[in-house]
């Protein structure tokens, strides 16, 4: 379906200029056919290169011809500025890297439609009819140009709506007030509503409540600023299903006069769902990596590096808010004998068993660490001296009662306890807990001690 039909009313009377105009008409119609599904979409770089080639040839010829016309200097400058604007617009389209092929071709088509109607049918006619040989012919050319222009505008609007009706993307037009005047078939089918219902109903009520006000503000800004914009929102579509839509809104202009908006919409629900799944996978993988980086691989407790970071944070918090904080230092009794007599496989099983006792015997707010070798450390938040000693004893007893099949005796631990003071640093708290743990060992092992 041709968007523009060439006829004798469109001819300027200059064969060279008319031939170049026909070339642009044919290119525009080819693009329109491709957009409506009657041909394959052209490659955007090739299309833009052809437009630049057209401009370089045509504008040079046209400006030479214009020098012979009786147009005022201001009118000539307006014409030249329009040519420069064509170059600027094509370069801007070429620089857009965020558009997919179909979107880029659609935008080029809209640009060419506007150019054909406002420039070729108006400015070029004005220039050609101001040539000396055309002035001599006389005969009311000004009125016929205006009539052709108005007819072309009406024909362009009608054909553009026909094209939009066949387009594989969702399109809508709105007037200067923002009220929708046209919704194409793709939108009606997406919503499960007849076109008349789409125009008569306040369809923004179908928007997700969390997106409704944001969308209305977005459209108000487009109507106020007369500019383009992009927004993503959720809408209750056919069958009551919640869908994600990406909407690009552009101003509709009649020359420089704002006459409304045009929206091109894409269902991005599948992409959003894929993105959400990927984000969840990335978050899960990130948590796994953090766990691997911060954990002791044998016991699953915090490693030394993660423990030191956590202890510094807890000390800062406790001293800032004047809250109690305690630390346990734990050593497995006679662990070297276990390794020497039963081997390192059994020794590893003992380490895992003690780690399990700590995991089961501590609160979620506490933090246990394999400090090194057979030594463990535990941060007890919001815990004073008496409660820390009670927790230490509970853990010691649980370890003693935890039998390991490969051993002929219980695994016992010695526990040292320290409590944070107002001027302590991490090294002070650790040193006192370590000293207390060695006193417990010296006093016979399998006991808790606080200096």
In this predicted model, what pLDDT tens digit does every residue of 415-444 receive, in sequence order?
A: 999 999 989 999 999 999 999 999 999 999
Reply yes or no on whether the pLDDT at 160 is more than 70: no
pLDDT confidence of residue 294: 84
In this predicted model, what pLDDT tens digit does every residue of 400-423 receive, in sequence order?
A: 998 888 887 788 999 999 999 989
- Assign 87 a pLDDT band (cuts: 50, 70, 90): confident
- Assign 380 a pLDDT band (cuts: 50, 70, 90): very high
- Assign 213 a pLDDT band (cuts: 50, 70, 90): very high
Q: Rounded mean pLDDT of 15-26?
A: 79
Q: CA-CA distance, 124 to 217, in Å (whole number)?
A: 40
DSSP string, 256-312: TEEEEEEEEEEE-HHHHHHHHHHHHHHHHHHHHHHHHHHB-TTT-SB-HHHHHHHHH
- From-to residues of CATH 3.30.450.20 in the chain: 169-294
Segment holding 199, helix H or strand E:
helix 195-200
Query: In sequence order, which ranges of 96-208 are alpha helices (DSSP H)?
Result: 101-115, 125-128, 132-137, 141-166, 185-191, 195-200
State both tokens at 22.
């026909």
CB 324 within 8 A of CB 419: yes
Q: CA-CA distance, 399 to 414, in Å (whole number)?
A: 10
CB 436 within 8 A of CB 414: no
What is the overall mean pLDDT for the chain? 81
CA-to-CA separations, 422 to 22, 313, 385, in angstroms, rounded: 88, 15, 14
Q: CA-CA distance, 2 to 16, in Å (whole number)?
A: 23
pLDDT confidence of residue 392: 95
Q: Rounded mean pLDDT of 281-288?
A: 73
Q: CA-CA distance, 232 to 322, in Å (whole number)?
A: 48
State both tokens at 225.
């600023």
- Cβ-based neighbours of 86, under 8 Å, separated by 6 or more: 55, 59, 115, 119
| pLDDT, greater one: 138 or 382 | 382
Reply yes or no on whether the pLDDT at 125 is more than 60: no
CATH code at 1-166:
1.20.120.50
At residue 78, the 3 state secondary structure works out as helix
pLDDT confidence of residue 195: 67
pLDDT confidence of residue 399: 93
Q: CA-CA distance, 218 to 211, in Å (whole number)?
A: 10
Residue with tokens 């780690």: 355
- Assign 299 a pLDDT band (cuts: 50, 70, 90): very high
- From-to residues of CATH 3.30.70.270 in the chain: 295-450
Percent of the chain at pLDDT exceeding 90: 35
Listed range (109-118, 244-253, 310-319, 348-357) with the worst mean pLDDT: 109-118
For domain 295-450, the CATH class is alpha beta
CATH topology of domain 169-294: Beta-Lactamase (3.30.450)
The pTM of this model reads 0.44
Q: CA-CA distance, 296 to 302, in Å (whole number)?
A: 6
């Amino acid at each position: 379906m041709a968007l523009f039909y060439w006829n004798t009313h469109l001819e300027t009377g200059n064969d060279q200029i008319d031939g170049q105009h026909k070339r642009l008409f044919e290119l525009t119609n080819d693009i329109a056919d491709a957009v409506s599904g009657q041909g394959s979409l052209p490659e955007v770089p090739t299309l833009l290169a052809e437009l630049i080639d057209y401009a370089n040839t045509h504008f040079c010829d046209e400006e030479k011809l214009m020098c012979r016309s009786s147009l005022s200097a201001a009118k000539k400058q307006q014409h030249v500025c329009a040519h420069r604007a064509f170059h600027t617009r094509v370069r801007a389209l070429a620089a857009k890297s965020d558009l997919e092929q179909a979107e880029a071709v659609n935008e080029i088509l809209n640009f060419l439609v506007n150019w054909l109607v406002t420039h070729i049918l108006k400015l070029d006619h004005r220039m050609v009819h101001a040539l000396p040989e055309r002035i001599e012919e006389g005969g009311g050319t000004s009125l016929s140009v205006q009539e052709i222009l108005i007819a072309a505008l009406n024909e362009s609007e009608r054909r553009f709506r026909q094209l939009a009706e066949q387009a594989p993307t969702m399109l809508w037009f709105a007037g200067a007030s923002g009220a929708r005047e046209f919704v194409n078939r793709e939108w009606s089918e997406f919503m499960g509503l007849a076109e008349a219902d789409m125009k008569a109903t306040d369809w923004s009520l179908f928007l997700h409540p969390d997106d409704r006000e944001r969308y209305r503000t977005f459209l108000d800004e487009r109507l106020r600023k007369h500019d383009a914009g992009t927004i993503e929102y959720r809408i209750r579509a056919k069958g009551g299903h919640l869908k994600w839509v990406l909407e690009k809104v552009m101003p509709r202009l009649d020359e420089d006069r704002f006459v409304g908006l045009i929206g091109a919409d894409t269902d991005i629900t599948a992409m959003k769902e894929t993105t959400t799944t990927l984000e969840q996978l990335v978050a899960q993988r990130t948590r796994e990596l953090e766990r691997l980086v911060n954990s002791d691989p044998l016991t699953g407790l915090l490693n030394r590096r993660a423990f030191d970071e956590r202890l510094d944070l807890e000390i800062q918090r406790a001293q800032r808010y004047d809250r109690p904080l305690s630390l346990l230092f734990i050593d497995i009794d006679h662990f070297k004998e276990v390794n020497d007599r039963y081997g390192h496989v059994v020794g590893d099983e003992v380490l895992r068993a003690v780690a399990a006792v700590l995991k089961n015997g501590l609160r979620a707010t506490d933090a246990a660490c394999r400090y090194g070798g057979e030594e463990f450390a535990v941060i007890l938040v919001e815990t004073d001296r008496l409660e820390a000693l009670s927790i230490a004893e509970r853990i010691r007893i649980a370890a003693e009662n935890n039998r390991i099949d490969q051993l002929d005796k219980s695994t016992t631990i010695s526990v040292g306890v320290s409590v944070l003071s107002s001027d302590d640093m991490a090294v002070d708290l650790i040193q006192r807990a370590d000293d207390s743990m060695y006193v417990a060992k010296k006093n016979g092992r399998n006991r808790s001690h606080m200096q």
